[in-house]
Structures are given as structure tokens and as C-alpha cells.
Amino acid sequence: MFIAQPQTESQSGATSVRELLAEPDLAALTLLAGDAARTVSSVRVIAELRELRLLGAGELAVVMPAASAKAHGHLFDVALRDTAATGATAVVLTSVDADAVEPTARRIADRCALALLVAPPGAEPTRLAIAVARVLSGDAGGALASVDNARRLIATADTADAVLAAAAEALATEVTVREPGHAEPAALVEVDGVADGYVTATVPEQARGAWVIAARTVVRLAADAYARVIAKDRRTDLAPIHDRGRLLGELLLAPESERAPLVAQARALGLAVDGWHQVLRFELSSSLTEPVGMAGQTEAVGSTALDAVLADSGSDVVDMWHGTRIGGDVLLVRTTGTKPRASAARIAHQAATTALAAARDRVPGLVIRCGIGGVYRRAEGLRTSATDARAALAATRQATPPRDIIAIDALGLNRMLVEWYASDTTRASVDDMLAPLAELGSQAAEDAIRTLQSYLDHQGSPAKAAKDLNVHPQTIAYRLRKITTLLHIDLNDAEQRLALQLACRAWLMR
């Protein structure tokens, strides 16, 4: 994201869109709609369409190619209306054909007197912005020199601090990673596809319009280089830990016949596989209306959670933490060479809390829950703790309301049911038993299974089940007739009632 500094009359002049199009460097722009007589007083390069709503009065926006490719449909129409409401003058789309701009967008631009333009294929957005700034301020040479100098310095920087220092030298101002203030040039840092702060330049008092244009480009270059260095450093620093984490994942999934060589390999890597283990299992999903690509973000969330727990444990050399993944779940494994003390439960809960906070901070909109397994010894104990953690994770969904963290040791008598359901064989049996109800569809299946569970929990009383579910007793009777027909069961048979009661409770844990 590029944030422009509003220019005052003393910093630049103002010219019309028509006059800009008369300039040699801008003559290739095509005006599709809007008022060419509108006055342009400043220019901004934007990386996302939502930034159009941040434009100021008299501003011209040059839209980067990736964002321009999304400039269609109802959302773009709304964005144009919002842009016009800011008092902005013009929007320039890059790397799109004029024919691809929809008639509705053109009509909105005409109606709102917002100049809508397209650049020819291959046009460099930053150079278009510099050309506009040259017309407005008459000083593009210094801006280009700053950008070229920054590109050279940043290319040779091999640390995160060196990247920031190179950008600062090129711009002759402070460049740091922080939230931008009002009108400060800034660019989002994305490490492995996840937002990780902003590279922000402090605006000098003597800054003119050309400096602002250069600063936007420089912070973008710096943010990309900074992200690459940070990602590389993290992978290098955590490589040994990740190697052991992957091995733990293999141990958890391997059949018994293949575990012996994996255990030997773990010992060779310095993993205290013969010690005591406790598994924390995290389930991730998104609360956003549109998916955020959970598959691509699981690794980033796992690294974030592990980093946070390692940082929180400080200089504690007794505990070793490793991260791994199974399916879409993230697992953190605490390993110690000696039997943990009574404080193990508190330490595990604190680690889960720390990991949850870090993951949610890095990926806003993330719904994440954690199940904590018990503490067990050796490779067999590692698998047992992982089974515990999966069962406890299921209990977080079963809780009313759902809970963020549940430890298997805190489940009391319900632990027996949770552990029973955690086995693959049990889940398969439950699925087979209730399959005819599951085929009714998600909501109908849940209604039927909750009805059956409540009826059995209340010793076969339709009236009590109806009160429990807040429905009419006749509704319970109707559902039960349908359920018994589909399942081919006899509710007068004590063994069938017990099996169904367990199956219903287990099914609702998922």
C-alpha cells in the first residue's frame, strides 16, 4: 500500500487531466470516461482497490496491475462511487485493455465527473506517477535518482537492518518498520503471504511532491526486500527445529512397523524422544465471509505459534518445543528429559494462550481452538498425548458455548467419552451407525441427532425432550418415527439405546 503526502500549493502546481494528456510521457493514456477538465493537484500509486477510498481532493491514482486486473463488477463500481465522493480527480488503470472496462464503470465515471483512464500495455505505474509529478512539481530528475540509488543499495543489502539503512540513505530520512502516521509513505511487508508490519518513511519538513513520489517507490522496494530477508532468516534459524518437528509428525503418523528407524533418527537429531511429551493441537478456520486460503496459511500460523512459545519460554533449557502439522491442524510438542512437575498443566495452558494470541494477531479473522493432551513418556507416549489432544480439541467444539482451549485432564468423567471417540475405529462405527441421518443434510442431520440424544438422555420422555429443545412434543414424536424408520432400530432395546446415546454424543463432538 502506498500512502501519499497531500501537496500544498507551495509544493506543487495544479493542472487539468487534458493538459496532462498533452505531455509526451502521458500521451499514451486513454481517457475512457469522466471530465478531462478536472484539476489534478497530486498523484498516488495504489496497490489495492480499497485504497481508492483513501484518495484526497484533486488526487490522481495510478492503480498497480494486480489491482487493475480486479477492476470489474459491482465492487469496482462501488469503489468508483466512493472515490468520486472523496473529491479525487482521476483513476488510471494499468495492464488492462480499454475494452475490458465495463460500461457500468464508464457511466459512473461520467456521472461523477471522475476521469477514468487506461495506460497502454507494459506501462510502468511508478514511471507514470513520476511523469505526473514532474508536471505538477517540475522535479522528476531527483525522484528518479533517488529510486535508482535505492534500488542499487537495497540489492546489496543482506540483512533486514541493512535494507532499512539503504532506503534511509537513498531518501535522506528515517525508514523504519512501524505503523505509518498520517500521509507518510509506507508499504506493507508480507512474509510468506502474511502481513507483518509496514516499512514507513518519515517525511522531512522540506519534502516536495517529487520526493513523495520517490519515497512511495523506495518503501515498496524496501518492503519486498525486507520480507525476503526476514523469511530467509526465519527458515535458517528454525531449520533444525523444523527438521525435528517434521520427524515428530512422521512418528505420529507411522504404523508401528516403521517407528523403530524413526525413533533412532530422532535420537540422532538430538530429540529427547525417550523423554516426556505433551501435545498441543490447534484447529484453524476462518471467520471471514470469503476464504482466506487456510491451506496456504497453516505453515505461517504454525511458525508464528512456535516462535511465540519459544520466545515466551525464554531461557528455560529444560523444555524443548517443536512444531509439526497433521492435515490442516498445527501441533506443538513440549518435550522434557525429566518427568514434568505439577506445573505442567499451567505451562501448557500458558503456551496455548500465547500461541493463540500470536496466530490471531498475524492472521486477523482466524478462528482457532486448542486441545491439550496429557503428559506421557517415550514415542508411545507421544502418540498417546496426540490422541488426547485430538480428543480435547473435539471437546472444544462440543462445549456450550465453544471454548478456545481445553485440556484432556480437565474433562473429568467426560474424558472417557472423548478418548473413546478419538479412535479411528470408533469414529468409523459412529459414522456407519448414523449414516442414514447424515444423508438428510447438515442441518436436518443435526436436528435429528440432537432430538435422539435428548430423548435418550431424558429416559425416553418426549415431553422432556421437547422442553429441552424448545419444540412441540408432536415435533419430537414425528422426528422419532422418522429416525427409527431410517435407522431400523428398536428404542425399547437397552443395548441399542446405549449405543445410540454414545453415538449421538460422539457425533456432535465433531
State residue 5's pLDDT score. Answer: 39
- The pLDDT of 263-277, averaged and rounded, is 80
Q: Tally the domains of the chain.
A: 3
Indicate the residue among 113, 137, 161 that finishes a domain: 137
Is pLDDT of 142 > 90? no
Domain match, 429 and 406 both: no
435 and 373 share one domain: no
Does position 457 have pLDDT exceeding 80, yes or no? yes
Quick check: helix, strand or coil at residue 456?
helix
**Chain segment 312-369, per-residue pLDDT in tens:** 876 444 568 888 888 788 889 988 888 887 788 888 999 999 999 988 888 777 788 8
Distances (CA, A) of 325 to 150, 298, 335, 388, 432: 40, 8, 16, 16, 28
Structural domain boundaries enclosing 331: 272-422
Higher pLDDT among residues 199 and 130, named by residue:
199
Within-domain flag for 95? yes
Give the pLDDT of residue 143: 65
Whether 297 contacts 317, CB under 8 Å: no
The CATH number of residue 445's host domain is 1.10.10
CATH number at residue 50: 3.40.1390.20
Check residue 273 and report its DSSP letter: T
At 414 the pLDDT is 58
Closest CA to 205 of 388, 494, 485, 10: 10
HEC string of 164-226 equals HHHHHHHHCCCEEECCCCCCCCEEEEEECCEEEEEEEECCCCCCCHHHHHHHHHHHHHHHHHH
In whole angstroms, give the CA distance from residue 10 to residue 72. Answer: 37
- Is residue 22 situated within a structural domain? yes
Look at residue 68 and tell me if it is in a domain. Answer: yes
Residues 486 and 374 in one domain: no
- Both 440 and 409 in one domain: the answer is no
In a domain, 211, yes or no: no
Give the separation between CA 437 and CA 489, rounded to whole angstroms. 13
Give CA 95 to chain center in angstroms: 28
Give 396-412 pLDDT, tens digit per residue. Answer: 876 667 788 988 877 65
Is 231 inside a domain boundary? no
Bridging pattern class, strands 276-286 and 376-377: antiparallel
Write out pLDDT tens, residues 144-184. Answer: 667 878 888 888 888 999 999 999 988 888 999 999 988 78
**Res. 289 pLDDT band, cuts 50 70 90:** very low
What pLDDT is attached to residue 239? 47
Residue 286: the pLDDT is: 60
Residues 410, 366 share a domain: yes
Pick the range with the lowest mean pLDDT from 49-58, 236-245, 300-309, 481-490: 236-245
pLDDT score of 375 more than 50? yes
Q: Among 391, 406, 422, which residue terminates a domain? A: 422
Q: Are residues 405 and 440 in the same domain?
A: no
Across 40-46, average pLDDT: 89
Residues 488 and 407 in one domain: no
- Looking at 359, 393, 422, the residue that finishes a domain is 422
**Mean pLDDT lowest among 46-50, 123-127, 149-153, 504-508:** 504-508
Say which residue, 12 or 77, is predicted with more confidence: 77
Residue at grid coordinates 422418522: 482
